[in-house]
Amino acid sequence: MSTPANTPTPVTPSLLRDWSLPAPGEDKYSRGAVLVVGGGRSTPGAVLLAGASALRAGAGKLTLAVAESVSVQLGVALPECGAVGLPEDSKGSITGKGLDRISSYLDRADAVLIGPGLDDQELSRDLLFALLEREEDRGGQAPTQGPAVVLDAFALGALPELEDRLDPWRGRMILTPNPTEAGILLGRDVEDLEADVAAVARKFDAVVSCQGYIAGAPGTSEAESALWKITTGYGGLGTSGSGDVLAGAIAGLRARGTSSTQAACWGTHLHAAAADRLASTMGPLGFLARELADQLPALMLELKT
């Protein structure tokens, strides 16, 4: 898997077969627990997509923490999950209050995904602040001890304002920005995606997956801090909900016991390969984001042979 310095390593099926995923384990507990935090009253589908994708990627347990006005409906729509309602404002956006309701789930999670369906930037910042404050009050956790923290959508936009508070999460974060969000994280326009994805990783001590590029977190082993590039994927990925599926797949893989870089490389490849498969039968623009998640188990099975 070695490549010249600063040259991305292509993520191919051959590479992934040599970088095998952890064994499934004997029960749902050994496959890892995912907590997804997000989903306002008007955007519950994003959490549904992310949660279903996490389970399709092999996670054993799933809890969705969403606006309390939609928690019951989501629990019915995805009966494999646990659904917990969080306080919301008059518009149905979760506020960052009432985290005691999910305290035990935060303690038991192997991966926490924050962002799908968050619909208010200021309240998203308040939510992240409250989660970070909770960790600070508990004395923080070493990167190898706490759950992985996967951040997507509006949760990413809150990071620059909280940069000086991120120590409890540094080394544990996986970020899934699109190029616009990458620019927000850097405080400038993205000019060279390959270089700028690596710059985001350095700035936040995080693994970053952005539009087919994956950068490992600084300070880890050489293999984990490399730059990677996905070699597949159709334009049909640019559809509503596609990013939620990607973030959920990465969270599910990470919960199973992969490293953060492995979860990002595998998840981003599977997401793109699922689009290839659907495009071959439906055309590049005709499939839905929820259909991407349904392709993940078969693709993972093929990469074991």
- Compute the average pLDDT of residues 205-227: 83
pLDDT at 4: 41
Could you tell me which of 113, 73, 21 has the C-alpha nearest to residue 299?
21
HSE, CB side, 13 Å, CA atoms: give it for residue 273.
22
- Please give the DSSP secondary-structure letter assigned to residue 285: T
Could you tell me which of 175, 194, 173 has the C-alpha nearest to residue 184?
175
pTM: 0.94
| pLDDT tens-digit map of 77-96 | 999 999 999 999 999 999 98
List, in order, residues 6 or more apart from 157 with CB less than 8 Å away: 121, 124, 125, 181, 184
pLDDT at 28: 78
| pLDDT tens-digit map of 162-205 | 999 999 999 999 999 999 999 999 999 999 999 999 999 999 99
CA gyration radius, the chain: 18
List, in order, residues 6 or more apart from 137 with CB less than 8 Å away: none
